[in-house]
């Protein structure tokens, strides 16, 4: 389970890097605004038929998230060039045998990131995950049932725990 969470976090980080390379305002046509946090969340929730009120609330939360993410990038000195380097490093190492934290560390090293920059990527990912979690919380039970299980908590403890106990073979 922990590996799934780490893989999801890595995938989201890679998406962030790709999205942050070029501001949405500079993109034209179909590309404009396509990779903003709001657009990414909306795409992940496309099968649940969001109401206008839900879309509006997600947009509002996404604006806050974008401001926070911009601040994180600026504070850590994450330039589009560094973000592109990290994306390229992730692509180069995606088929490696490394997984989870070991893979993230190798990607950061290959991209030439210092500790503060690597920590900034973790913070960016946390902001994105919070936006997705808060967006899912807006959904009705019927809408949540249409989502992939990775987007919805799995039980009272959010999927954490040891699972079912095996019965004694007595």
Classify residue 27: in a domain, yes or no.
no
Burial class of residue 7 (count of CB atoms within 10 Å of its CB; 0-12, 13-18, 19+): middle
pLDDT tens across 42-75, in order?
A: 788 888 889 999 999 999 999 999 999 999 999 9
Question: Is 66 a member of any domain?
Answer: yes
- Angle at which helix 100-111 crosses helix 115-137, to 10 degrees, equals 130
The answer to whether residue 53 sits within a structural domain is yes
Task: For the beta carbon of residue 135, count every other beta carbon within 10 angstroms.
Answer: 23
Predicted pLDDT at 8? 46
Distance in angstroms (rounded) separating the CA atoms of residues 51 and 86: 36
Tokens 């980080």 belong to 13
pLDDT of residue 34: 59
Q: Is 164 within a domain? A: no
What pLDDT is stored for residue 29 in this prediction?
Answer: 47
In a domain, 157, yes or no: no
Q: For residue 85, give every residue at least 6 positions away whose Cβ sits within 8 Å of its Cβ, in sequence order, or none.
A: 111, 112
Whole-angstrom distance, CA of residue 59 vs CA of residue 159: 28
pLDDT digit string (tens) for 128-148? Answer: 999 999 999 999 999 999 888
Q: 170 in a domain, yes or no? A: no
Q: pTM score, two decimals?
A: 0.67
Q: Is residue 102 part of a domain?
A: yes
Domain residues for the domain of 146 are 2-21+35-151
Q: What is the pLDDT of residues 80-96, one digit of tens each?
A: 999 899 999 999 998 88
How many other C-beta atoms lie within 10 A of the C-beta of residue 167?
6
Q: Is the pLDDT of residue 164 over 70?
A: no
Q: Half-sphere exposure of 94 toward its Cβ, with a 13 Å CA cutoff?
A: 10
Q: Would residue 87 count as lying in a domain?
A: yes
How many structural domains compose the chain?
A: 1
77: Cβ contacts below 8 Å, ≥ 6 apart: 116, 117
**What does DSSP assign to residue 165?**
P
């Amino acid at each position: 389970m922990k590996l799934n969470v780490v893989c999801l976090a890595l995938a989201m980080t890679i998406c962030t890097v790709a999205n942050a390379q070029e501001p949405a305002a500079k993109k034209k046509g179909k590309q404009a605004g396509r990779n903003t946090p709001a657009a990414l969340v909306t795409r992940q929730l496309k099968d649940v038929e969001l109401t206008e009120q839900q879309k509006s609330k997600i947009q509002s939360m996404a604006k806050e998230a974008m401001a926070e993410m911009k601040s994180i990038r600026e504070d850590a000195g994450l330039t589009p060039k560094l973000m592109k380097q990290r994306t390229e490093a992730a692509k180069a190492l995606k088929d490696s045998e490394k997984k989870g934290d070991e893979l993230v560390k190798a990607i950061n090293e290959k991209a030439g990131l210092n500790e503060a920059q690597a920590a900034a990527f973790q913070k960016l990912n946390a902001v994105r995950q919070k936006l997705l979690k808060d967006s899912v919380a807006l959904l009705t039970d019927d809408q949540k049932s249409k989502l992939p299980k990775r987007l919805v908590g799995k039980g009272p403890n959010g999927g954490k725990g040891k699972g079912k106990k095996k019965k004694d073979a007595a």
